[in-house]
Chain A
Amino acid sequence: MANIMGFFLVLLSLTLSLYPSCALYEDQVGIMDWHQQYIGKVNHAVFHTQKQGRKRVVVATDENIIASLDLRRGDIFWRHVLGDSDAVNDIDIALGKYVITLSSSGSILRAWNLPDGQMMWESFLQGSGPSKSLLSVSASILVFSGGCLHAISGIDGDVLWRRELSGESLEMHKIRQSPNGETIYAAGLVGSSQLALYELNPKNGDIVNHKMALFSGGFSGEMLFLSDGTLVALDATRSTIVTASFNNGNLVFHQRPIIEIVPEFSGSASLLPSRFKGSVAIKTDSHVLLILVRENGKKMETLDKIEGPSAISDALLFSEDQQAFGVVRHEQDVLSLSIKLDGGGNNELITDNIKVDGQRGRAEMVFINNYIRTDRSQGFRALVVMEDYSLMLLQQGNIVWCREDGLASIVDTTISELPLEKEGVSVANVEHSLFQWLKGHFLKLKETLMLASAEDIAVIQEMRLKNSEKTKMTRDHNGFRKLLIVLTRAGKILALHTGDGRVVWSLLSPSFRKSEKCQNPTGVKIYQWQVPHHHALDENPSVLVVGRCGLGSPNFLSFVDSYTGKELESLRLTHPVTQIVPLPFTDSLEQRLHLFVDGEKRAHLHPRSSESLGVFLRELPNIYLYSIDSERGIIRGYGLKGKCIREEGDDYCFETRELWKVVFPLESEKISAVATRKSNEVVHTQAKVLTDQDVIFKYISRNVLFVATIAPKATDGIGSITPDEAWLVAYLIDTVTGRILHRVTHLGAHGPIQAVFSENWVVYHYFNLRAHKYEMSVIEIYDQSRADNKDVLKLVLGKHNLTTPVSSYSRPEVMVKSQSYFFTHSVKSMAVTSTAKGITSKQLLIGTIGDQVLALDKRYVDPRRTINPTQAEKEEGIIPLTDSLPIIPQSYVTHSVRVEGLRGIETFPAKLESTSLVFIYGVDLFYTRIAPSRTYDSLTEEFSYSLLLITIVALVAAIFITWRLSEKKELRDKWR
């Protein structure tokens, strides 16, 4: 019965889907979608508050973004996402109206108009070799990059002069313009122990003075300009402060062991790159020391000693001769900000203790700025970057605003149901909502009949957007309300409500915080650990988060409750994990079984309980694993053998044995893309009915892997290769037996390859060098062994093989169809819609280079398309073949917004069969729900209930009136 229903639904959907299906009206924006803009982790910030008008802060971030933020509210005035290889080295403000950015390791200098972000000029700086890139903006713009010092005009970006400051192993470390603008100082090292100091004329770049001097102790490489002509550095052992200064035309060194200044010092120190005048900040293992250096380094004294982890800002000149700096310390959930004077003595200007959300970790960076309060005293504001990449503005002991910018670096995402609705809703509530409901529909009716005033329309729009239904914290009937659980690179886990995108809870688990053991923890993957339905409904669902230290192998786990955001358990594994395999089995609490494969190819079972072990041992012979080694071009398949030999006591450790391997010739093929079916994908039917009443059967196996390899030469970029040297080979491999089901070569094809695998088809996108266009190909794979099951008589007599299970070991007879089409744009990411029962037709979601997402019906990438389809084929919905795929602007699911820095597209099924939830992430986040075949199973939001009611009332009234009329007429007839 369900099948028949399904069939009709398919028919219905086919007829409906002949029109572009996700088209949206402009006034529907924001009803079921939301868009959030972020910038990422800030690494440079410059305030611009001098003038009247908008106060702003210009920031550069780790995501290669420069942005101008509103200081009052934290909104983005403008921002630009630079290219992937165009990392920002430094930013500053010049002439009070341009933001100057130095990027691409010092080779591109750009100026952006401060109010609107328009690029005013850009300048390409050609150097003679790699070097540090330094930017100094005061009297003029000075850039040191590529071994040359450039002076650049702030008005048009022209290079005024250029001076090469390189030579035999000379490496420049710092440049400085004297405050009066008369001299430029440049300091560098030759080797590790020879210091070179230059004095240059800012007008033409001539070298006025040049000194080299050898320091026997060697240098650590860090140095700072203390004042004009005085340098401070650390020696090679990082335990002595060395100052160097010009004295009568000679370089004079002074050195002072740190232990003499601070008796308890031990270990090694490092210079903090904060810019102070006359003093230097030194970070030791336990403290941050602020040391005042006087008389060219002859005298040094401790100004301040800051204990514990802290962040220190640059010094800020806020009056004629006073400088201040900010220190932020963090204890539990209290952030203490102190602004101190640079001069020594009782130097604390302001100390604020501010309570912050405990899930933000410690403060990593702080930038300060001053303002004049209404009582004419000095006030300070501080911009703080936290460990979870969030950005806060502190002022007068309060958090003015806080941006959750960790969300710009999502690495993985999953979804969780919301709790069920509790019984017992008050009557008043119902009445109120009923009244609201009626009022809403009355207004909508007015709108339909064009009677609504402008105010009414505004009210209607407001009601649509702020529908309280969509932001409730309970499960809804259609399955639209869910929690998106995302993991950021910083290791923070956040739950976003699909209704409006707000953060429901967030967690920076202790194992993801920076510590002695792990300096740089990052999040890697997130898995659904426990998804209770049926018998374990009183359990909360939970997720498994996997993290790692720096670039090492993932080795710490955290189990988090999806409803509350509390960490249930955290685990540090003794072995590194190379692969995590969620298995299709659950225990009685519906915890999913996972295998963690370590470096020696042993599989460790989680959860570690006797019950899960029982389930696992029963299925042991049917579990196969595979690993992809793209470096060496080998794909290996494994089976499980038995308990680990070496670890006797460990019942949850299993040895694997290699079953097969596929080796690609490294000199001609390099693995570029792999794709598998989503493990939770639902396929409605295996059969596909053709127009001529014929049936073909899809080859549906969870164990098919799509691998695309390209010529090793074809990895450097489109412009660097001729078509004859490039090719792409696509494979379909069975991961149980290692059998290659299909192999096809595209000559003249170039990466990058994006691929998506669903049901029995793969679509992949690549560049065709011959046509010089992007191309998309589709491969569909059909099961021939079931092709004989068409005879009704056989089916009736039971002589069919439909019930025989699909086995990878039986040699499959497969038939493959494929076709290729041109596609206009570059593609960043590709996904396919998924629905609850798999009945609704599919759409490809294509993230284009313009950071938009296009929904393309699967019918456009159907290998059965021909140039002249027959009438019957047309009825079936086959579209005449065209050489390129159409781009219909109305089918952009992101409509008129850009998801900057797009990296991934995730789709999740809703409970309503027609609808699929789409979450797109990059620097921005975008969420919407789409119905690939229109919402055939529910009324749309557009449906006018009031019009229906009025029609019914009118019909009933009409019935009564006509009844009365006919009675009267009859009476008259009878009298006649």
Chain B
Amino acid sequence: MSLKRKSEVIKGMGAKGLGLPGKSTNVKVILNGGQRVAFIRPDGYFSFHGVPAGTHLIEVAALGYFFSPVRIDVSSRNPGKVQAALTENRRTLNELVLEPLQEESYYEIREPFSIISLVKSPMGLMVGFMLVAVFLLPKLMENLDTEEMRRAQEEMQNQGVPSLSNLLPGRSNN
């Protein structure tokens, strides 16, 4: 009983612009969680020999790609007949061609420098708050009626609550 099927692993990856020829040498096909390991030939084929009838599992180890494990049923009645299905999405394969489900990127993408990110940083927020305090708060004060303001200040002084104006330099002699 032998299991020998085509795998277009290399082709599929080459099409996605993985131009480095050395990369394909790092692909391994693993049967039943490490029972046997097969390597890929230049034409993309791999094979396992002497696999007994039963239900087996094939995994692919390839850095940078996510492959679904494949469930392989080797028939005992019809020698040479195998059925394959991806275990992740239960898709059956007519031909045992293993293709990566997706590419894996192991790094975070560094976001390009932007004013927004600088403003969002703690320092940016500090500067922003200060600007608000310097330029907008006086505006608010100006909008108040001078009469009302004086009354409010007097009230505060009477109550003995320290006011902002007291703390400002130059107001103490008022």
- Chain A residues close to B by CB (< 8 Å): 23-27, 78, 80-86, 110, 116-122, 124, 448-450, 717-721, 752, 767, 769, 771-773, 824-826, 828, 849-852, 887, 889-890, 892, 895-896, 898, 947-948, 950-951, 954-955, 958, 962-963, 966-967, 970
A951 near B123 with CB under 8 A, answer yes
Contact B41 A121 (CB under 8 A): yes
Assembled-state Cα–Cα distance A892/B106 (Å):
7
Q: Choose from B52, B54, B87 the contact partner of A773 (Cβ within 8 Å).
A: B87
What are 5 of the A-B contact pairs (CB < 8 Å)? A116-B22, A116-B25, A718-B32, A721-B54, A772-B55
Q: Distance (Å) between the CB of A350 and the closest chain B CB? A: 38
Write out the residue numbers on chain A whose beta carbons fall within 8 Å of the beta carbon of B24. Answer: 118
A117→B26 CA distance, assembly (Å): 9
Complex: A958 Cα to B50 Cα, angstroms: 80
Selected from A83, A769, A955, the residue in CB contact (under 8 A) with B130 is A955
B41 touches A119 (CB 8 A): yes
Q: Cβ of A849 and Cβ of B56 under 8 Å apart?
A: no
Question: Does B108 contact A718, Cβ atoms closer than 8 Å?
Answer: no
Contact in complex: A86, B126 (CB < 8 Å)? no
- Contact status of A120 and B170, CB under 8 A, knowing A752-B33, A826-B34: no
State which residues 95-152 of B face A: CB under 8 Å.
104-108, 110, 112-113, 121, 123, 126-127, 130, 134
- Does A955 lie within 8 Å of B126, measured CB to CB? yes
Contact of B66 with A887 in the complex, beta carbons under 8 Å: yes
Q: In the complex the two chains form, is B110's CB within 8 Å of A27's CB?
A: yes
Q: Are A767 and B69 in contact (CB under 8 A)?
A: no
Q: How many Å lie between the Cα of A82 and that of B108 in the bound state?
A: 32
**Is A86's CB under 8 angstroms from B105's CB?**
no
Inside 8 A of A951's CB, which chain B residues have their CB? 123, 126-127
Interchain CA distance A83-B36 in the complex, whole Å: 6
Cross-chain contact A719 with B56 (CB below 8 angstroms): yes
Please state if B22 and A85 are interface contacts (CB–CB under 8 Å). Answer: no
Between A119, A449, A963, the greatest number of chain B beta carbons within 10 A of the residue's beta carbon is seen for A119
- Residues in B whose Cβ lies below 8 Å from that of A887: 66
Q: Decide: B59 and A826 in contact? CB cutoff 8 A.
A: yes
B34-45 near A? 1/0 per residue, CB < 8 Å: 111101111000
Tell me whether A119 and B64 are in contact in the complex, defined as CB-CB below 8 angstroms, given that A80-B39, A824-B69, A955-B130 are known contacts.
Answer: no
A15 to B148, CA, bound (A): 46
A contact residues around B66 at 8 Å (CB): 887, 889
Report whether A118 and B169 are in contact in the complex, using a CB–CB cutoff of 8 Å: no
Contact assessment for A958 and B130 in the assembled complex, using a CB-CB cutoff below 8 Å: yes
Nearest-neighbor residue (CB-CB) of B41 within chain A: A119
Residues in chain A near residue B68, CB distance under 8 A: 824
Task: Report the minimum CB–CB distance from B116 to chain A (whole Å).
Answer: 14
Report the contact-size class of chain B (Cβ under 8 Å from the partner).
35 or more
- Tell me if B74 counts as interface (CB < 8 A to partner A): yes
Give CA–CA (A82, B30) in the complex, Å: 10
Q: Which of chain B's residues have a CB closer than 8 A to the CB of A78? A: 22, 25
Residue of A nearest to B57 (CB): A718
Q: Is the CB of B106 within 8 A of A895?
A: yes
* B170 in complex: contacting residue of A24, A82, A118, A966, CB < 8 Å: A966
Report whether A890 and B33 are in contact in the complex, using a CB–CB cutoff of 8 Å.
Answer: no
Known A-B contacts A719-B51, A720-B52; A849 and B34 likewise in contact (beta carbons under 8 Å): yes
Shortest distance in angstroms between B97's beta carbon and chain A's nearest beta carbon? 19
Q: Are B33 and A449 neighbours in the complex by a CB distance under 8 Å?
A: no
Determine whether the beta carbon of B41 is less than 8 Å from that of A825: no
Say whether A717 contacts B170, CB under 8 Å: no
Q: Tell me, in angstroms, the Cα distance from A951 to B127 when the chains sit together.
A: 7
Known: A719-B51, A752-B33. A896 touches B108 (CB 8 A): no
Q: Are B108 and A25 in contact (CB under 8 A)?
A: yes
How many angstroms from the CA of A23 to the CA of B37 in the assembled complex? 30
Q: Which residues of B contact A967 (CB under 8 A)?
A: 169-170
**Do the beta carbons of A122 and B41 come within 8 Å of each other?**
yes
Q: Is B63's CB within 8 Å of the partner chain A?
A: yes
- B-chain residues with CB within 8 Å of residue A889 when the two chains form the complex: 66, 104-106
Q: Is the CB of A82 within 8 A of B69?
A: no
Asked if A23 and B61 sit within 8 Å, CB to CB, the answer is no
A290 to chain B, nearest CB (A): 41
B49 within 8 A of A: yes
Query: Given contacts A27-B110, A966-B169, is CB(A86)–CB(B37) below 8 Å?
Result: yes
Contacts of B54 in A (CB 8 A): 718-721
Assembled-state Cα–Cα distance A121/B168 (Å): 86
Residues of A within 8 A of B51 (CB): 719
Most B CB within 10 A of own CB, among A24, A27, A850? A850
* Contacts A23-B107, A27-B110 given; does A719 touch B69 at CB 8 Å: no
Q: Which of B41, B49, B55, B121 contacts A718 (CB 8 A)?
A: B55
* B-chain residues with CB within 8 Å of residue A771 when the two chains form the complex: 87
Q: Is the CB of A86 within 8 A of B36?
A: yes
Hey, which chain B residues are within 8 Å of A719, CB to CB?
Answer: 32, 51-52, 54-57, 74
The chain A residue with its CB closest to the CB of B53 is A719
Q: Which of B63, B71, B127 is within 8 Å of A898, CB to CB?
A: B63
Given contact pairs A773-B87, A947-B121, A948-B123, enumerate 18 new A-B contacts (beta carbons under 8 Å): A23-B107, A25-B110, A26-B110, A27-B110, A84-B34, A86-B36, A119-B25, A122-B41, A122-B47, A717-B32, A849-B33, A849-B34, A849-B59, A850-B63, A896-B107, A955-B126, A962-B134, A970-B170
- Bound-state CA distance A769–B50 (Å) is 21
Given contacts A119-B41, A850-B63, A890-B106, is CB(A826)–CB(B127) below 8 Å? Answer: no
Chain B, residue nearest A970 (CB): B170
Whether the Cβ atoms of B33 and A718 lie closer than 8 Å is yes
B140-172 contacts to A, CB under 8 A, are 168-170
For B170, the chain A residues whose CB sits under 8 A away are 966-967, 970
Contacts of A963 on B, CB cut-off 8 Å? 169
Q: Which residues of B contact A118 (CB under 8 A)?
A: 21, 24-25, 42
Closest Cβ of chain B: how far from A367's Cβ, in Å?
25
Name B32's closest neighbour in chain A (CB-CB): A718
Q: How far is the CA of A958 from the CA of B133 in the complex (A)?
A: 11
Q: CA–CA, A110 to B38, complex, Å?
A: 11
The interface residues of chain A lying within 8 Å CB-to-CB of B63 are 850, 852, 896, 898
Residues of chain A with a CB closer than 8 A to B88's CB: 824
Closest to A891 in B: B106
Q: Report chain A residues within 8 Å CB of B106.
A: 24, 889-890, 892, 895-896
Complex interface: chain A residues within 8 A of B108 (CB):
23-25, 890
Q: How far is A259 from B65 in the complex, measured between Cα atoms in Å?
A: 66
Q: Ordered nearest first, which 5 A-B pairs have the shortest CB separation?
A: A850-B61, A83-B37, A889-B104, A719-B54, A826-B33
B85 vs chain A, min Cβ distance (A): 8
Residues of A near B28 (CB, < 8 A) are: 850
Q: Which residue of B lies closest to A771 (CB)?
A: B87
What's the least CB distance linking B112 to chain A, in Å? 8
Complex CA–CA separation, A607 to B31 (angstroms): 48
Are A717 and B35 in contact (CB-based, < 8 A)?
yes
Contact with A83, one of B26, B35, B113, B169 (Cβ below 8 angstroms): B35
Distance in angstroms from A855 CB to nearest chain B CB is 12
Contact check: which of B34, B87, B113 meets A772 at CB < 8 Å?
B87
Q: How far is the CB of B128 from chain A (nearest CB, A)?
A: 11
Which residue on chain B has the smallest CB distance to residue A78?
B25
Kindly list chain B residues whose C-beta atoms are within 8 Å of the C-beta of A721: 54
Which of chain B's residues have a CB closer than 8 A to the CB of A948? Answer: 123
Give Cα A801 to B134, complex, Å: 59
- With a cutoff of 8 Å between Cβ atoms, the chain B residues found around residue A767 in the complex are 33, 57
Evaluate contact between A120 and B41: CB separation under 8 angstroms: yes
Q: Which residues on A sit within 8 Å (CB–CB) of B37?
A: 81-83, 86
Closest to A825 in B: B59
- Which has the most chain A C-beta neighbours within 10 Å: B30, B35, B68? B35
CB distance from B42 to the nearest CB of A (A): 6
Measured CA separation A26–B110 after assembly (Å): 8
Per the bound structure, the CA–CA distance linking A24 and B105 in Å amounts to 11
Question: Which single residue of chain B is at the shortest CB-CB distance from A893?
Answer: B106
**Within the complex, which residue of B40, B61, B107, B121 is in contact with A26, where a contact is CB–CB below 8 Å?**
B107
Nearest CB of B to A844, in Å: 18
Please name all residues of chain B whose beta carbon is closer than 8 Å to the beta carbon of A448 when the two chains form the complex. 113
On chain B, the residues within 8 Å of A954 by CB distance are: 127
